[in-house]
Structure 1
């Protein structure tokens, strides 16, 4: 995440993030929160952004789990994935 004045972009912008991008931005948000020095308003915005990024990462991981389970089930059945 590049440093700029926009600490909490619109949550819809998360839809296009890959897992790696979301995780990288989450690490940056956590780092800024841990460093301190932000105003209360900025800290709240960072927290909200971090929560949204964490959810985006969870969604990616859940999707990967489902895909792996589908592939595993298909290979154990001798068929091809749907």
Structure 2
């Protein structure tokens, strides 16, 4: 995995499963309550980035399915 200088994996390099699993972890930490407001904000921002990455993967998968269906319809 690629890590930034802060030791946090770059969201853009994560697979869907990696982003989803980390998002679950981040949500759990937020639900428990971070010790400081700054930590809560950092977790929230990370969660937003992870959610966007998951959505990006899902939209890409949907496009691939739509393309496959369209191709199957023109062949059949």
TM range (shorter): 0.7 to 0.9
- Deviating above 6 A after TM superposition, structure 1's stretches of 4 or more consecutive aligned residues are none
Does 47-56 or 28-37 show the bigger shift? 28-37
Partner Cα separation in structure 2 for residue 42 and residue 24 of structure 1:
19
Q: How many residues align?
A: 71
State which of 30, 36, 44 in structure 1 corresponds to 2:41: 44
Q: Any gaps of 5 or more consecutive residues in structure 2?
A: 1-5
Partner Cα separation in structure 2 for residue 40 and residue 78 of structure 1:
57
Structure-1 residue corresponding to 2:50: 53
Partner Cα separation in structure 1 for residue 23 and residue 35 of structure 2:
16
Partner Cα separation in structure 2 for residue 77 and residue 62 of structure 1:
23
State which of 68, 72, 81 in structure 1 corresponds to 2:69: 72
SS across alignment from 2:17: helix
